[in-house]
Copies of this chain bind each other. A is one copy, B any other.
């Protein structure tokens, strides 16, 4: 019933995050028994792109280590634009990927793996508006509701939240 008991998840937040893409995995992973931490640059409060907030977070991305978590989740909105400009975030993403730990990203969050340099040759999806950026970065881009390629679990929009979390939970269990 609780498939992720004992697992730890880290969700990355920044201003202009897409609310449902953060709130859904937050509570969904908790429902499965995972311990979930939300982190932002400097641990600052964040406000969503539809006005939700300011929302406090539990940690600063600068202080987070891939060693301490079993899965990384990157919600969309315009927060990924801030996160891809943030060196500590990019290093963290590379560390998760190097360790083969699951990374979930959705919508505009594809910008982060692009700038982290981990997406080339990988199968993934994104919101259609950044398909050009994904393809130009060498992604094997497909138009599916949830795409798993090894440790990468991607989805397109909030309409894919259910399939995305199912795939993400399975991937974490199997990791």
Please report A residues at the B interface, Cβ cutoff 8 Å: 1, 16, 19-20, 23-24, 27-28, 30-32, 47-48, 50-53, 55, 78, 81, 84-85, 108, 111, 114-115, 128-129, 132-133, 136-138, 158, 161-163, 165-166
Contact = CB atoms under 8 A, between A and B. Distances in A.
Contacts of A52: 19, 48, 50-52
A166 B20 contact: no
Given A81-B129, A84-B129, A27 B20 contact: yes
B128 A114 contact: no
Q: How many copies does the complex hold?
A: 6
A47 B129 CA distance: 20
Nearest to A28: B28
B27 A161 contact: yes
Contacts of A50: 51-53, 55
Given A24-B28, A136-B137, 14 more contacts: A27-B162, A28-B162, A30-B161, A30-B162, A31-B161, A31-B162, A31-B166, A50-B52, A50-B53, A78-B81, A85-B129, A114-B133, A114-B136, A133-B137
A20 B38 CA distance: 15
A27 B24 contact: yes
A84 B127 CA distance: 12
B128 A85 contact: yes
A131 to B, nearest CB: 9
Contacts of A20: 23, 27
A161 B137 CA distance: 30
